[in-house]
């Protein structure tokens, strides 16, 4: 998430990024047995996304948060366009409006989350970001139980903030919440794009839109620093780890496991982000922070599981 559309089905309860998606042509029916392989692919994709984000934090001092966004989206778009080679003719104005909205949501989501991780720990940023898709799931569910999961997630956020977001840096927390809102928007338009464009064409085109929109921001902040060979190399690593590799792994996995299972696994991303922050960035978690992340993960898993069960009397 292709990664984007995989996070658009039942994954709307949790996921993400930056990013992950039913694949545009629709995943094939899950194969019986042998679930360990696909699960490993999904977990590998989550690890790739979050360790790519941790690497991006190391790149921010060189290129700035907006410069990193530009490098990630532009280089990922180039790779996807070369691999997918999407056709650009034969689509309606409505089709192009959908893919532009998808790309704009993708670009805005990346801008906001990188602004957030420049200010607050990675695990906290991803925990706040995941609330956007979770809220979308609660609104779409129409189940009373969904309010319980929303309350549990809210308790986690309050615990994470220590009673006030000033402990985290209110600007960073605000950017993370904005990224979550854009993630929910991204999910809606990823689903629409997947229905209108074949294969991974929609994702490649949307990534190109996001890259074009982010380019002026990155150039304004970083200028010629974006062209430094070592910075370009690190940017390519972020693009591959955060976009190209996880999208590919998840696309393969979604052909063999149900979208609901995928969504449950995606709800573990705050924990993976916290692990990446600790190992790569030496961002230690307090017991309170760990408990807060656990509450949000539990709420996400509960929301997904309640959505995949048939409603009473149905």
Residue 30: predicted pLDDT: 42
User: What is the pLDDT confidence band of residue 145, given thresholds at 50, 70 and 90?
Assistant: confident
Nearest to 177 by CA among 157, 152, 207, 149: 157
User: What is the pLDDT confidence band of residue 187, given thresholds at 50, 70 and 90?
Assistant: confident
Residue 35: predicted pLDDT: 52
Site of tokens 């449950």: 264
More confident residue, 11 or 293: 293
Residue 196: predicted pLDDT: 87
Burial zone of 125 (CB within 10 Å; 0-12 exposed, 13-18 middle, 19+ buried): buried
More confident residue, 55 or 3: 55
> In 3-state terms, what secondary structure has residue 222?
helix
More confident residue, 42 or 60: 60
Burial 187-211 (b: 16+ CB within 10 A, else e): bbbbbbbbbbbebbbbbbbbbbbbb
More confident residue, 133 or 101: 101
For the stretch 252-290, pLDDT in tens is: 666 676 655 555 566 667 777 777 888 887 777 778 878
Residue 257: predicted pLDDT: 63
For the segment 212-236, the average pLDDT, to the nearest whole number, is: 93
Q: Mean pLDDT lowest for which of 1-5, 64-68, 142-146, 163-167?
A: 1-5
Site of tokens 């070592």: 230
Residue 214: predicted pLDDT: 94
For the stretch 69-98, pLDDT in tens is: 999 999 999 999 999 899 888 899 999 999
């Amino acid at each position: 998430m292709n990664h984007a559309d995989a996070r658009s089905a039942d994954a709307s309860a949790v996921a993400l990024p930056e990013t992950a998606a039913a694949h545009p042509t629709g995943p094939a029916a899950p194969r019986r047995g042998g679930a360990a392989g696909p699960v490993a692919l999904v977990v590998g994709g989550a690890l790739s996304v979050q360790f790519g984000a941790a690497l991006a934090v190391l790149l921010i001092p060189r290129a700035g948060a907006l410069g990193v966004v530009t490098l990630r989206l532009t280089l990922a778009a180039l790779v996807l366009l070369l691999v997918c080679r999407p056709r650009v003719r034969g689509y309606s104005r409505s089709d192009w409006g959908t893919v532009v909205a998808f790309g704009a949501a993708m670009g805005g989501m990346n801008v906001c989350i990188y602004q957030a991780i420049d200010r607050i720990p990675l695990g906290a940023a991803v925990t706040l970001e995941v609330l956007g898709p979770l809220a979308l799931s609660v609104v779409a569910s129409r189940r009373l139980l969904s309010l319980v999961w929303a309350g549990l997630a809210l308790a986690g956020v309050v615990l994470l903030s220590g009673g006030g977001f000033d402990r985290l840096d209110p600007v960073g927390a605000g950017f993370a919440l904005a990224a979550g809102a854009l993630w929910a928007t991204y999910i809606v338009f990823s689903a629409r794009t997947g229905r209108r464009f074949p294969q991974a064409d929609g994702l490649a085109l949307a990534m190109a839109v996001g890259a074009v929109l982010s380019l002026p921001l990155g150039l304004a902040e970083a200028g010629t620093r974006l062209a430094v060979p070592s910075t370009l190399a690190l940017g390519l690593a972020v693009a591959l780890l955060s976009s190209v590799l996880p999208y590919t792994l998840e696309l393969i996995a979604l052909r063999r496991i149900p979208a609901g299972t995928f969504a449950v696994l995606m709800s573990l991303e705050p924990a993976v982000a916290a692990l990446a922050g600790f190992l790569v960035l030496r961002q230690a978690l307090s017991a309170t922070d760990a408990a807060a992340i656990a509450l949000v993960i539990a709420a996400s898993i509960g929301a997904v599981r309640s959505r995949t069960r048939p409603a009473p009397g149905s």
